């Protein structure tokens, strides 16, 4: 085997250099973080990666090339994978035993192989930076590595005497109306704010009745809007409130006409915040479709619902954190049940990652904030 060691500013840079100099068939054997300078002081931190490449075998079962004679142009990328993906796939078998098991579980949970490998390489690099080589708390390192990619936006902020408008949008069946009720109750009871409700979900009579019931119980003013022109007068009729919560009809992210109607209603409402509501039980492809379909509504944050029904969060987190082609919006809240106002909490990496894989969920229950 031809073995070489590469040093670069990041793991991604090192893998790219390996691909360029050794070809896509190279395997990563070891990674660690090193610091230059006098005895490691006052220097820069690098990632050092040791890679190996097996000698080619001829028809007689003998090495066809000496290891020192291997040339970069001897190797070609695999047809079904990009050069960078090939390096990841060939190096995946070199992961530590527990990490290899985690890789399989991540992929089974819907995480793309290239994303799983990126997370796990970052995990190895993180552990190497701590100077640890054996007996790793691998799950903790994996959780920390993924946490670095998460965007958390914090809760809705209100000021007494200043009307703050927040709209909730999203597909059908994700729990927007119940989430509106939880937010309204929380701000009314805990924050002692004056709350007004608006619903434009007139496609479902039951949704209007449900929100009306919550408004009556909490003694909150509520308005029903059917057309964009009715939005501003309805908000004004709510009076001197601190927070206006707007409930919208569920829409298919693939229905351009319905999304256009939503955008027009939001344009008239002029919300300070728009939260895209998605279910934690959704598949990776569904989350991507929702992010893409509701992009015209310009969501400023995302709410993840039904966390109590999700077997794991790996897939949905990969869709939220790893795409270069979709908008990356911060998570604001998590919901984990139907109880109003208890089953909602501000989004935290700890809660999301405690449910990363199915094996970490046995006999566990999420405590509401």
CATH of 164-360, one of 2.40.50.140, 3.40.50.2300, 3.30.565.10, 3.40.50.300: 3.40.50.300
Three-class secondary structure of residue 334 per DSSP = strand
Q: Which two structure tokens, joined as six digits, stand for 6?
A: 């590469």
pLDDT at 4: 86
CA distances from 343 to 179, 329, 338 (A): 9, 22, 6
Q: What is the mean pLDDT of each successive set of 10 residues along the chain, which is 369 residues long?
A: 80 76 75 60 67 62 41 32 43 66 89 88 77 67 89 91 94 92 93 93 70 90 92 95 92 80 94 96 91 93 94 91 71 90 92 82 36
Tell me if the bond preceding 40 is cis, omega within 30° of 0.
no
DSSP code for 60? T
Answer whether 343's CB lies under 8 Å from 303's CB: no
Which among 157, 165, 159, 170 is positioned nearest to 272, based on CA atoms? 165
pLDDT at 366: 36
Answer whether 231's CB lies under 8 Å from 265's CB: yes
pLDDT at 96: 63
Answer whether 197's CB lies under 8 Å from 180's CB: yes
Three-class secondary structure of residue 152 per DSSP = strand
For the chain, where are the alpha helices, taking DSSP H only? 11-22, 83-92, 97-108, 113-129, 138-147, 176-189, 205-218, 231-237, 256-269, 284-293, 314-321, 349-354
Residues facing 165 on adjacent strands: 244
Which among 17, 96, 24 is positioned nearest to 49, based on CA atoms? 17
Residue 361 CB-half CA count within 13 A: 16
Q: Which two structure tokens, joined as six digits, stand for 191?
A: 């924050």
Instruction: Pinpoint the residues of the chain covered by CATH 3.40.50.300.
Output: 164-360
Answer whether 184's CB lies under 8 Å from 218's CB: yes
Answer whether 309's CB lies under 8 Å from 338's CB: no
Q: Beta-carbon neighbour count of residue 247 at 10 Å?
A: 26
Q: Beta-carbon neighbour count of residue 48 at 10 Å?
A: 16
Residues facing 2 on adjacent strands: 53
Residue 143 CB-half CA count within 13 A: 17
CA distances from 282 to 171, 241, 319, 366 (A): 11, 35, 10, 18
CA distances from 5 to 13, 50, 93, 95, 131 (A): 13, 4, 18, 17, 18
Angle value at C-alpha 277, between 176 and 300, nearest 5 degrees: 125
């Amino acid at each position: 085997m031809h073995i070489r060691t590469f040093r670069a500013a990041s793991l991604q840079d090192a893998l790219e250099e390996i691909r360029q100099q050794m070809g896509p068939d190279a395997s990563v054997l070891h990674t660690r973080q090193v610091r230059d300078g006098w005895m490691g002081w006052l220097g820069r931190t690098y990632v050092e990666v040791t890679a190996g490449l097996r000698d080619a075998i001829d028809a007689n079962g003998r090495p066809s090339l000496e290891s020192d004679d291997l040339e970069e142009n001897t190797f070609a990328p695999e047809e079904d994978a990009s050069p960078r993906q090939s390096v990841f796939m060939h190096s995946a078998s070199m992961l530590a035993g527990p990490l290899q098991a985690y890789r399989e579980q991540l992929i089974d949970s819907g995480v793309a192989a290239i994303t799983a490998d990126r997370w796990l390489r970052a995990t190895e690099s993180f552990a190497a930076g701590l100077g640890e080589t054996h007996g790793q708390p691998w799950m903790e390192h994996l959780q920390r590595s993924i946490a670095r990619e998460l965007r958390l936006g914090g809760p809705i902020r209100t000021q007494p005497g200043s009307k703050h408008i927040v709209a909730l949008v999203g597909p059908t069946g994700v729990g927007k109306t119940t989430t509106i009720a939880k937010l309204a109750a929380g701000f009314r009871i805990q924050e002692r704010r004056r709350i007004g409700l608006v619903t434009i979900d007139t496609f479902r009579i039951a949704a209007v009745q449900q929100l009306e019931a919550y408004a009556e119980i909490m003694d909150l003013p509520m308005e029903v809007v059917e057309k964009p022109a009715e939005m501003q007068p309805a908000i004004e009729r709510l009076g001197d409130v601190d927070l206006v919560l707007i409930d919208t009809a569920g829409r298919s992210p693939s229905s351009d006409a319905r999304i256009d109607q939503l955008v027009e209603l939001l344009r008239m409402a002029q919300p300070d915040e728009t939260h895209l509501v998605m279910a934690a039980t959704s598949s990776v492809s569904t989350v991507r479709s929702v992010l893409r379909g509701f992009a015209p509504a310009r969501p400023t944050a995302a709410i993840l619902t039904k966390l109590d029904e999700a077997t794991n969060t790996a897939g949905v987190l990969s869709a939220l954190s790893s795409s270069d082609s979709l908008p990356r919006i911060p998570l604001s809240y998590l919901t984990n049940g139907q109880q109003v106002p208890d089953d909602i909490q501000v989004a935290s990496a700890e809660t999301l990652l405690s449910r990363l894989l199915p094996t970490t969920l046995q006999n566990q229950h999420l405590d509401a904030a």
